[in-house]
Chains A and B, each alone.
Chain A
């Protein structure tokens, strides 16, 4: 077993899939000569040449649309957004073309495309560069939305995403790119739609994905010192959502806290809370609580940014509230 950084795991996934299938190519801003804005695609231009590792001008709507058109006629594009924030100007391509073309053609066309890049907040990059875009995308039928937390899942899920015949929104995190983890040498694609239990617990269930999974694991350590045993569910896939694992974990403790970046109004957290209350109602001992970013645009100031993003203390306090309800 080797230890890889998150970015290396992504690079391996793309490289292996491009070796395997000549219809796969990578396109985006600075993916080639610059070696990737976050060095995810480092070395890939040298390996595959500029026919398959394609630098684009700053035209997200244009190159997202080019990816969609190429996918419709059978290529398998990987479209990198330098950050998912910039996908806002390509939203029409993802919503109206990638996600719709299969249905509006009566099933004649598919769109096997992967849109990927860093999502959520980074470090003090301000209001326009800190969006949690999953809340906009996970609501769209026709898309699959993946958000791994660990290198092993980054690699396995990206391989699966590239081979999938549907349009995929693949969410990474700038703050995770250097995170290390064990990745087996011959890892194949990981099945899409399966959550993982990263920590077993008995008193409260923390549900998270991507970067927030790591925050929840830390919070679980703190809670353990207080005598509260927290289970941590890492969703990995937001659409499809692994209801079985989610419901099993909710029933196990009867107390759930959903932790995510992004605003609290609607979104993925509300969806998860809805599923838990519908499917595990009789097992619940407390309302499903949520820890989200504060309901304001992200401020630049370091301390204020920390206040806005879910941090360990806020997760711990909320989990404590859920765990103790009816017991104090």
Chain B
């Protein structure tokens, strides 16, 4: 497989940026600077980065509460993400959303949602609007395998299939629905099989290479764009951290975790760059620029103002408050 090195370097840089931003977020969380829930995407970066590279800027994405990676991949600034985690007025959602609700409408990142499966019909609605208008956009809807058991998944996929909506459902199967392994949460572990009952195309693969993610999801994106057909894709991935910051992940073994870390797609991307002659100096410069961007984002978040209570009413209603 020949890959444009600049292209791969761009994807590696995004993956690294997401990884490093989240590592810093975890540190800030431990210091009490970030509150609430913090669900890290560490280990899964190749999914969002590869998938978004298969899209046009006008295409829409929507996901669950594990949303930082997708937001950054879609073009949200590191500053807007970190400031949102700090609850600051300069955050992407002005400090009102937090970790679970990253929105960046300018980049067509239509949000992270906190109710498992609830955003899947909403994503189908975004795709419905594209078909209604004939605007040629594709919607990518991300969710974990934990969402596959709830009604929202089935109603969303069923209607998207019935109405042939231009959407790709990306199930990020990270093997654990919070602390419950696949074997105890699903009668059929192959999530992509759900597509059969709805009569839509399916795909399934293990995420080891970000380039492969781009290509495999790209096939479904073209199917959505050119023929307005939905696809269900199960990508097998793995989160290196617990479900959220309060989860020490005692339900899995260190050996299992180590095995997955050995196959970290982030490292593979770096190794491929080195092997194919991207050059040590350029790699170091790329990594240094990521460190700079992360440090800048943290500094920006630290220094930004808190949101004012005057925001509350105007963000609840469009127009006069309705009490």
Contacts and interface: CB of A to CB of B under 8 A. Distances in A.
A51 B97 contact: no
A13 B155 CA distance: 30
Interface in A51-99: 51, 56-57, 59, 61-75, 89, 92-93, 96-97
Nearest to B125: A69
A272 interface: no
Interface stretch (B22-30, B222-230, B275-283, B315-323): B315-323
A69 B110 CA distance: 9
A96 B65 CA distance: 13
B159 A56 contact: yes
A66 B159 contact: yes
Contact of A65 (B94, B101, B125, B132): B125
Interface in A23-71: 25, 51, 56-57, 59, 61-71
B119 interface: yes
A69 B129 CA distance: 8
A252 interface: no
Nearest to A92: B118
Contacts of B319: 164-166
Given A105-B97, A107-B314, A240 B322 contact: yes
A109 interface: yes
A65 B152 contact: yes
Contacts of B320: 240
Interface residues of B, number: 52
B113 A107 contact: no
B11 to A, nearest CB: 27
Contacts of A141: 316-317
B103 A66 contact: no
A103 B312 CA distance: 8
Most chain A CB atoms below 10 A, which of B120, B130, B152, B316: B316
A240 B323 CA distance: 5
Contacts of A102: 315-318
Interface string B139-171: 000000000000110011011001000000000
Interface string B176-198: 00000000000000000000000
Contacts of A73: 60, 110, 126, 129-130
A103 to B, nearest CB: 5
Contacts of B101: 104-105
Given A65-B121, A93-B118, A239-B323, 4 more contacts: A57-B162, A62-B152, A106-B315, A141-B316
7 contacts: A65-B118, A69-B62, A69-B122, A74-B129, A104-B111, A107-B311, A110-B318
